[in-house]
Every structure is written in C-alpha cells, then in structure tokens.
Amino acid sequence: MRPPFLALLALLSMTLTSSNVQAAKPVKTLPNGLRTVIVEDHASPVVSLQIWVRCGGVNEAGLTSGVSHFLEHMIFKGTDKISANEISKIVESNGGSINAATASETTHYFIDMPSNKWEEAFDVLSQSVLNPAFPPTEFEKERRVILEEIKRRNDDPQSDLWDGFLEALYTQTPYRQKVIGSVQTITDMPRSLMVDQHKKYYVPNNMVVVVVGDVKKKEVSKKIKEVFGGLPKGTLPPAPNLIEPPAENSDVRTIRRSAKQAYLALGIVGPTLKDPNQVAMDVLAATLGGGQSSRLYQTLREEKRLVWSVSSSFITHSGSGAFGVFAECPPEKVRSLPNDIYFLFHEIEFNGFKPEEVARAKAQLRSSWLFSQETYHGQASQWGFYTTLGAPELVSHYLKRLDAVTPKALATLLSQYTIGRPMGGIVVTPENSSVQ
C-alpha cells in the first residue's frame, strides 16, 4: 500500500491542467478580492464544491501551533442557524460527503455530491466556513478529539519521518511547523485564539471558491455573488517569509522508535512555485525516482538491494519547495544510504541524463496529470491549490513547460540543487537497531 505521506507528496507535487479548462480560463475575481473558479462539465451528474483559505501551519508560531487545523475541525460544529448534526445530515442524506484538510499554506473544505442539490450544499458549506459559532462545549470536546488524533499520528513512523524531514530542511521558515500542533499547544489553546485566526484569515481576499461539475456556470456565479459578494475585504496580517536560505551543513538526524524497518528522508530546499524551474524539478524528481526504471529504484533496490522501496518527489510550496528522496530499508542498511544517494547523483552529474529516461519521466507526469482530471474533486482540488497560492496560470502552462524540459536542463538542476548544496534529512529506525 502506498504510504500516506507519499500520497500527500503526490498531491502536493501534482501540477495540473486539462484541455477544457485551459480554454475556459475560469478564474475570476470579485471586487472584494474573492477568487472564483467555475468549471461546467456534464459528463457525470455530480459536483465538487470547495472553499480554499490561504491559512495553515506557516501562519502559526510557538503557542499558536496547530490553531489552523483546530479551526478546521471546528468549522463543521455549527453556526448560529444550523447545528453540527444538521450540517453533516443535509450533505449525507443527499448522497454527499463533507470533509476538510489543513496543510502548511492552505485549509480547504469540500462537499462532493450528486449535482441535483448543489445549491443547498453550497449554502451549508459557505455558511459553515463564514459564520462558525465555535460553541465552547464543542470546542472542549474537539480539543480531546485532536489530542487523540495526535496519538494516532504518533503511532505511525512515517509521521516522525515527515516531521523530521521538514525540520531538517527548513530551519528559518515556518514550513517546519507541525500542522497538527503539539499536545502542549492543543491542551493550552484558548478559544479566543481560534476566533482571532478565523477573523484574520477567513476574509474574501484570502479565499478561493471552486465549483466543478454538473452545474450551470451562470447559476453558480450568481450564487457565489449572493453569498460572498457583500463581504468586506479584510486586512491580512503580514505574510511570513517563506524563502529558506540554502543549508550550510549536511545533517541527517536519527530518531529511534517502535518500528519494524528503517525509513530515510533526504532532501534539499528547491525553487518556489513561480520559479521557471518549478516544473523541471517535477521532471527531475520523476527521472531520479518516479518509477521502477528510475535511477534510484534500479540502483538502490534492484542492483544493490539496499532498500525495499525508494522514490523521489518535489513538494511544491509558494515559497521554497522541497526535493526529497524517501526510502524504506532494513535498519542495518540505512546508514550507508545517504552516501549511496550522493554517489549516484555525482555519477549522473558526470555522465548526464539519457534522453529516453527523461522522456519516460515526462510521459509519466503527463499521464498523471490526465488521470488526475478524471474526477471533479480532483479538478477542483488542483484549481483550488494553485489559485490559492497565487499561480492559477500553472494550470494552463504546465504541459508546455513540461515539454520544454531537456536532459541538459535537468543536469544543471541536479548540480545546482542536490550536489551543489548539502542535503539534510532524517532516519527513523527501530529502537533496538545499531544505527548511529
């Protein structure tokens, strides 16, 4: 089974577009700054309604760590007019599902459902996001639920790996924050902090509304204007600095814990979302470790038999992105892995990339893009992510940029990012292993 964190990487590193959405250029901005994306498509009688907010782990520090995620949990706990139970009941009794997710830079809420009741669902979603009541009793109950979620997360070795990876790469910028917070910050968090976070960030000029599916564009546009059009612009707090300076030293820390195998995450900070090299970094990651014919897989798993699995990804952020190599292996073999990876990268730098391996990586990325467009939820998520981070044009330009990537350009990127700078990372290994 694909590890959850790798699935997350896949989502974050996905870059998307499609022929119909390219033509439509569906991003509009209301006078109050709200951005909207409406894609009308009648292939399936369903719809995905999503509201994205540019608020996440990077908008927190110290005692506020985890507030955005806590806030996300409280959004569906009712408004002055509708109870928590009614919110889920309205959606689920009409055949839909309702959920939300918080990441380092975004929080998003969605309802996927048969399209015949889209308007009712839109009211539920928008009122929940805009007018949460934050009932104090529910707040205290949800605190206990989140503390439980932290325990659940702690039981997964890959959570330690992911947290450690981000801490190793990001020493200056808030990408190192744990989105879920800590037992301490959640235990101590006052309700007022959440109310304040909502007031500051849940304003139209910091939000994106996305509707994709079996709907009439005109009707949706009218509805969005009715609900959001009268909201005043908010004054946003200063944006955090999200440009991470290159690391000066290579540091691979070890965590010992209950685990049956060793895990390695090794990487380096990379270009920003708007950097011209952003798409090329996707190709670099896919060429090095995107499939079974990739260099990392062939060398580390098939030839040297050092790992059970290995892959590489580029994680897209609006600020400094992250290039990472992720491996699972027997504990006794994890110590040598960073050197094996460095050695392999040096070898590639010396000999260059073969045109056919780059072509394979591009073919994989192209197909992934197309497959991801099959569901309305997938399309809406992609529009939401890139529009929220201020780069909706990537949705239209991605394939062109993909086509333009050459083996020579990849070799330059490899030198610049993975060889020219020290890589950092984390090893998670069983308590009783002898890894130093």
Question: Tokens 């540019």 belong to which residue?
Answer: 54
Q: Choose between 80 and 155: whose C-beta lies nearer to other proteins.
A: 155
Q: Rounded to the nearest 10 degrees, how much is the dihedral formed by the CA atoms of 390, 395, 400, 405?
A: 60
Give every CB contact of residue 362 below 8 A, 6+ residues apart in sequence: 283, 286, 402, 403, 405
- C-beta closer to other proteins: residue 369 or 417: 369
**If binding means CB under 8 A, how many residues of this protein chain bind other proteins?**
62
Which position among 14, 74, 75, 98 is part of the footprint of other proteins (CB under 8 A)?
Answer: 98
Check binding of 94 to other proteins (CB under 8 A).
Answer: yes
The answer to whether residues 25 and 197 touch, using CB atoms and an 8 Å cutoff, is no
Tokens of 436: 């130093």
Non-local (6+) Cβ contacts of 251 within 8 A are 168, 422, 424, 425
Chain positions 191 to 250 lying near other proteins, rule: CB under 8 A, are none
Q: Which is nearer to other proteins, 154 or 416 (CB)?
A: 154
**Residues 282-341 close enough to bind other proteins by CB under 8 A:** 290-293, 298, 301-302, 305, 308, 328, 330
- First and final C-alpha spacing in the chain: 29
23 makes contact with other proteins (CB under 8 A): no
Q: How many CB atoms lie within 10 A of CB 150?
A: 16
Cβ closest to other proteins, residue 84 vs residue 284: 84
**In this chain, which of 106, 261, 381, 387 binds other proteins, going by CB under 8 A?**
261
Strand order in the sheet with 424-430: 252-257, 424-430, 262-270, 321-329, 309-315
Helix runs in 309-424, H state only: 337-351, 355-372, 376-388, 393-404, 407-413
Distance CA 134, CA 192 (A): 10
Q: How far is the CB of 411 from other proteins (least distance, A)?
A: 20
Considering the complex, state which of residue 93 and residue 434 has its C-beta at the smaller distance from other proteins: 93
Is 85 a residue that touches other proteins (CB under 8 A)? yes
Amino acid, res. 190: P
**Which residues ranging from 356 to 375 are in contact with other proteins (CB under 8 A)?**
356, 359-361, 363-364, 366-368, 370-371, 373-375
Stretch of 32-40, 90-98, 226-234, 340-348 lying at the interface with other proteins (CB under 8 A): 90-98
By C-beta, is 275 or 374 nearer to other proteins? Answer: 374
Nearest residue (CB) to other proteins, 203 versus 286: 286
CB of 297 to other proteins, least distance (A): 8
CB nearer other proteins, residue 330 or residue 420: 330
Query: Smaller CB distance to other proteins: residue 206 or 311?
Result: 311
Does residue 256 contact residue 421 with C-beta atoms inside 8 Å? no
Given a contact cutoff of 8 angstroms between Cβ atoms, the answer to whether 180 and 146 are in contact is: yes
Is position 151 an interface residue for other proteins (rule: CB under 8 A)? yes
Among 7, 145, 239, 404, which residue interacts with other proteins (rule: CB under 8 A)?
145
| Shortest Cβ 294–other proteins spacing (Å) | 8
Report, in Å, the least distance between residue 175 CB and other proteins.
26
List the alpha helices (DSSP H) in 239-324: 278-289, 295-296
> What minimum distance in Å lies between the beta carbon of 259 and other proteins?
6
Please give the order of strands across the beta sheet that includes 97-102.
27-29, 35-40, 207-213, 46-53, 107-114, 97-102
Residue length of the chain = 436
Residues in the site for other proteins, rule: CB under 8 A? 43-46, 76, 84-85, 88-89, 92-98, 112-114, 141-142, 144-145, 147-149, 151-152, 154-157, 258-261, 290-293, 298, 301-302, 305, 308, 328, 330, 356, 359-361, 363-364, 366-368, 370-371, 373-376
